[in-house]
Amino acid sequence: MRVSDSKIVAKLAELNVELQHSASLSDLTSLGIGGTTDLLRIKSHESLPDLLNLLDANHVPHKFLGGGSNLLVGDGDLPWVVLQLVRPEPDVVLDGNLAHVDAAADLGRMITFCAKNDLGGMEGLIGVPGTVGGALRMNAGAYGMQIGSYVREVKLYRAATRKIETLRGHQISFEYRHTSFAPDDMMLAVILELPSKPYKEILQGIRICNEKRRSSQPLGQKSAGCIFKNPPGVSAGRMIDELGLKSLSVGDAQVSDRHANFFVNAGHASAKDMLALIADVRERVQKSFGVNLENEVVVWNA
Ligand code: EPU
C-alpha cells in the first residue's frame, strides 16, 4: 500500500514520522519472506495517538512491526502500511534493580547490558532474536525463563482508548507465549525488575543456554523460531520429527533437519510455500497424533 496523498505525507513529517516507500518486508523479517508496502518509522512515542487518528481518518490500514523475528508476512503488494518504532539512544537506563527499556531495544543486547551491570534472571532468553517489545507482547521464553516474570510496568499505546497508558505488572497476565495485551496494543517501553547477580555467574548461565541452543536449533538459517506452540505436555518438534518430516519442503520452505519445529527459508521461499508447508505438517500431525498444532509464528497474510 502506498501513502501518496500529499496532505497525509505533510502531516507525517509534522509528527516526526519517517515515510519509507515500498519497503520490502523480506528485509525486515528473520524468515526473509514478505511483500512490499510503505513503512512508517516513528521517532517519538508521543506522536502515536495523532498518527493513529490520522491513519484511521484516512482509512489507511496498518500493522505494528517489532523485530520481525516471529513473523510470516504474505507475498506481493501488501494491503496495509507498517508502523515501526525507531530505537532511541540510549535504549536501556538502569536505576538500581530496575531497567527502563524502550520497546525497540534489541532483546539480546538489553540482556547483555543488564548482565554487565550485575543484573540477571533472563539468561535463557539471550539467544531469542527480536525486540523487547515483541518479546513482551508474546511473553517470549526459553529454558524455563520468561520475560513476563520480570515486568514491573509497561507503557503502551492502547488502540481501544486511543491513548498512551501505563500498566502495572499485576494488571497484565503472562502465560505460555501469550499475554492479556490486545492484538492492536503497541508496546512502547517497559520497566523490568531484575535480580542482582554477579556478571560472571550470569555469563556462565548464558554460555550453557547458548550451547544448548546451538546444539539443537538451526541458528545460521533464516527462520522464525518455532512455528508451532507446544501443546500441553508434549513437544511439537518431537512429534514432527517422529513422523520423519525433517527436510520436508514446499519450494524453498523447509522443515529444518536440525529441529523439526523450525521451518527455514532455504533460498527464496514465498509465504505461499511456507503456509503450504505449515498446513501440510499440521494435517499430518493431526492425522497421526490427533493433536491440532496452533501457530506460534504470527501470520500477516494479505
Ligand atoms: N526434539 C526432537 N526432535 C526435534 C526437536 C526436538 O526429538 O526435531 C525433542 C528434543 O530432543 C527434546 C524435546 O523434543 O527432548 C524438546 O525439544 P527442545 O528442548 O528443543 O524444546 P522445544 O520444546 O522444541 C521449546 C521452545 C523453544 C525454546 C526451547 C528451549 C516452544 C514452541 N519452543 O522448544 O522456543 O527455545 O524450548 O527452551 O515453546 C520459540 O519460541 O520460537 C522457540 C524456539
Phi, psi of 126 (to 5 degrees): -55, -35
Q: Which of 123, 137, 226, 282 is catalytic?
A: 226
Is 114 annotated in the active site? no
Query: Whole-number mean pLDDT of the chain?
Result: 97
Cis peptide before 90 (omega within 30 of 0): yes
pLDDT tens readout for residues 72-115: 999 999 999 999 999 999 999 999 999 999 999 999 999 999 99
Q: Could you tell me the pTM of the whole model?
A: 0.97
Pocket flag, ligand 1, residue 237 (CB < 6 Å): yes
Pocket flag, ligand 1, residue 230 (CB < 6 Å): yes
pLDDT tens readout for residues 205-216: 999 999 999 999
Element (H, E) at 49: helix 48-57
pLDDT tens readout for residues 170-197: 999 999 999 999 999 999 999 999 999 9
Is 2 annotated in the active site? no
pLDDT tens readout for residues 244-276: 999 999 999 999 999 999 999 999 999 999 999
Q: pLDDT tier at 302 (50, 70, 90 boundaries)?
A: low
CA distance 251 to 26: 16
Pocket flag, ligand 1, residue 87 (CB < 6 Å): no
How many angstroms is it from 235 CA to the middle of ligand 1? Answer: 6
Pocket flag, ligand 1, residue 295 (CB < 6 Å): no
What angle separates helix 6-14 from helix 48-57, to the nearest 10 degrees? 170
